[in-house]
């Protein structure tokens, strides 16, 4: 084993992976390793992989070939963790010195032949103290894994069954964050709505965190439409710290495709749900995920997705081209929508989004919004509004990490420009 001093973390994929990366950083730093943002400076490279789409896996193969020379000459050790299918694990073995499931990261010090300045007896890896990537924004995992088995999705296979984190632990992490001046807490899980720990379901957990003292925003992701309860809507509406933003993945606007995807709701039910939440929470912003080119998706079925996008007027849509994932139910079906056609469908939806997002953003002109500043460049402050809109305005670097009031003066599809009030 080479003497390890500096590590570089390469995280692909979702918020959950980012949060896992923070726990890995916690373990590595407790072993005396220092982080570096420059891969070339590192003698340890840790990859937190994402298997949701093939593209991320391809990127790892691409990079692995580049680092093989340094690894071959004994200057680099490599570790792979995160979401990886067994199939990919076998193919990637030659590029990594260690492939380790995320729930076993407390074994890292043994592998590194280091002593950790940390209590590693924790039963769950989520108990390991994270090294947060920010001093004012934090992801707090409340649940890992997923039991939903949407036909296209690899998550239940790579993350396993749903496990809720004890409410006491979640509360303790949130309390610590608030005592240390954090301004934004995002509770994360593949389907936060199915959280259950002792007497706490998700709305009750939200209410409990919302009642904590402090000047902060409380966000969460992701909600499955089939499980979005009236109690959750009430908790969102009543919460002092909860923000008026809901990420509610629709995936398709076609009844038959939704059924084939095993999503357990119809387009009609989704529309009713959106109307109900919007009525209870005025000014609510809604974002969603969509998949185009699911096996067998006809043009008219795709048009139903385009239609529902025009109806809902989403604020943001993450559009994904379907890619078959080994082991999932959909992988057994012919991936029969061509790449070109998937790209065309993506472009059509992007065109709709550009118009609806602009229409929605224009409604904020002349309104004053609260913004948490998270960046600064050449006299411009950047941040997100409570409704999760990107806002730019002239300001001071010292405003980073602070809430400010900004009057919106102009709007584009992807963001807003404003003036400090």
Which segments of 332-420 are extended strands (E)? Answer: 368-377, 380-385, 390-394, 403-411, 416-420
Q: Give 45 or 192: the residue with its C-beta nearer to ligand SF4.
A: 192
Q: Give 267 or 418: the residue with its C-beta nearer to ligand SF4.
A: 267
Q: Which of 21, 82, 130, 156 binds ligand SF4 (CB under 6 A)?
A: 156
Provide the pairing of β-strand 390-394 with 163-164: unpaired
- DSSP-derived 3-state class of residue 368: strand
Q: Which does 164 bind (CB under 5 to 8 A by kind): ligand SAH, ligand SF4, none?
A: none
Instruction: State the nearest-atom distance from the C-beta of 155 to ligand SF4, in Å.
Output: 4
Stretch that binds ligand SAH, among 21-29, 129-137, 149-157, 277-285 (CB under 6 A): 149-157
155 binds ligand SF4 (CB under 6 A): yes
Q: Which does 346 bind (CB under 5 to 8 A by kind): ligand SAH, ligand SF4, none?
A: none
Q: Give 247 or 384: the residue with its C-beta nearer to ligand SF4.
A: 247
**Distance in Å from the first CA to the final CA of the chain:** 57
Question: DSSP secondary-structure letter at 106?
Answer: G
Residues constituting the chain: 421
Query: Contact, 183 vs 169, CB < 8 A?
Result: no
Question: What are the Cα distances from residue 348, in Å, to 122, 300, 304, 319, 324?
Answer: 49, 13, 12, 11, 22
296: alpha, beta or left? (left if phi > 0; alpha if psi -120 to 50): left
Q: H-type helices in 6-100, by residue range?
A: 15-30, 54-72, 86-92
Stretch that binds ligand SAH, among 38-46, 171-179, 316-324, 385-393 (CB under 6 A): 316-324
| Window 222-281: residues binding ligand SF4 (CB under 6 A) | 224
196: alpha, beta or left? (left if phi > 0; alpha if psi -120 to 50): beta
| Window 167-196: residues binding ligand SF4 (CB under 6 A) | 190-191
Q: Which does 323 bind (CB under 5 to 8 A by kind): ligand SAH, ligand SF4, none?
A: ligand SAH
Question: What are the Cα distances from residue 44, in Å, to 76, 81, 109, 213, 233?
Answer: 6, 13, 13, 40, 45
Q: Give 77 or 191: the residue with its C-beta nearer to ligand SAH.
A: 191
Q: Give 187 or 291: the residue with its C-beta nearer to ligand SAH.
A: 291
Q: Which of 146, 274, 330, 411 binds ligand SF4 (CB under 6 A)?
A: 146
Count of chain residues binding ligand SAH (CB under 6 A) = 17
Q: Which of 193, 320, 356, 361 binds ligand SAH (CB under 6 A)?
A: 320
| Window 173-192: residues binding ligand SAH (CB under 6 A) | 190-191
| Window 31-70: residues binding ligand SAH (CB under 6 A) | 52-53
| Window 203-242: residues binding ligand SAH (CB under 6 A) | 222, 224
Question: What are the Cα distances from residue 246, in Å, to 19, 229, 236?
Answer: 20, 13, 9
Q: Give 61 or 318: the residue with its C-beta nearer to ligand SAH.
A: 318
Q: Which does 149 bind (CB under 5 to 8 A by kind): ligand SAH, ligand SF4, none?
A: ligand SF4
Which tokens sit at 210?
């919302």
Neighbour-count burial of 103, counting CB atoms closer than 10 A to its CB (0-12 exposed, 13-18 middle, 19+ buried): middle
Q: What is the dihedral of CA 186, 127, 177, 209, to 10 degrees?
A: 60
Which residue ranges make up the site for ligand SAH (CB under 6 A)? 52-53, 152-153, 155, 190-191, 222, 224, 249, 251, 289, 291, 320, 322-323, 325
Which residue ranges make up the site for ligand SF4 (CB under 6 A)? 146, 148-150, 153, 155-156, 190-191, 224
């Amino acid at each position: 084993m080479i003497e390890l001093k500096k590590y570089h973390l390469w995280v692909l994929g979702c918020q959950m992976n980012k949060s896992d990366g923070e726990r890995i950083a916690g373990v590595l730093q407790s072993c005396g390793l220092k982080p570096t943002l420059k891969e070339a400076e590192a003698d340890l490279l840790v990859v937190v992989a994402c298997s949701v789409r093939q593209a991320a896996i391809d990127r790892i193969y691409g990079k692995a070939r580049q680092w093989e020379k340094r690894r071959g000459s004994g200057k680099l050790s490599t570790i792979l963790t995160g979401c990886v299918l067994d199939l990919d694990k076998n193919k990637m073995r030659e590029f990594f010195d260690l492939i380790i499931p995320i729930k076993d990261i407390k074994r890292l010090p043994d592998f590194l032949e280091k002593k950790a300045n940390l209590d590693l007896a924790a039963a769950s890896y989520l108990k390991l103290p994270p090294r947060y990537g920010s001093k004012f924004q934090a992801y707090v995992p409340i649940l890992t894994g997923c039991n939903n088995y949407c036909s296209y999705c690899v998550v239940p296979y790579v993350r396993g069954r749903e496990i809720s984190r004890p409410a006491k632990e979640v509360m303790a992490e949130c309390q610590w964050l608030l005592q240390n001046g954090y301004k934004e807490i995002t509770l994360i899980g593949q389907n936060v709505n199915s959280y259950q720990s002792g007497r706490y379901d998700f709305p009750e957990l939200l209410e409990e965190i919302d009642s904590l003292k402090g000047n902060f925003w409380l966000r969460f992701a992701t909600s499955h439409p089939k499980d979005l309860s009236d109690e959750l809507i009430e908790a969102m509406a009543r919460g002092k710290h909860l923000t008026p933003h809901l990420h509610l993945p629709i995936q398709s606007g076609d009844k038959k495709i939704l059924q084939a995807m095993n999503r357990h709701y119809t387009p009609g039910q989704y529309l009713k749900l959106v109307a109900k939440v919007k009525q209870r929470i005025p000014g609510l912003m809604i974002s969603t995920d969509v998949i185009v080119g699911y096996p067998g998706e006809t043009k008219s079925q795709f048009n139903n997705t385009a239609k529902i996008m025009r109806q809902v007027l989403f604020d943001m849509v993450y559009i994904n081209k379907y890619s078959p994932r080994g082991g999932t139910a959909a992988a057994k079906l012919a991936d029969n929508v061509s790449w070109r056609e998937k790209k065309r469908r993506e472009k059509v939806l992007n065109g709709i989004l550009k118009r609806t997002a602009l229409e929605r953003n224009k409604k904020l002109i002349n309104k004053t919004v609260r913004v948490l500043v998270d960046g600064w460049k050449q006299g411009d402050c950047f941040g997100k509004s409570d409704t999760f809109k990107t806002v730019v305005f002239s300001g001071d670097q010292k405003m980073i990490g602070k809430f400010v009031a900004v009057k919106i003066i102009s709007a584009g599809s992807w963001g807003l420009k404003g003036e400090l009030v």
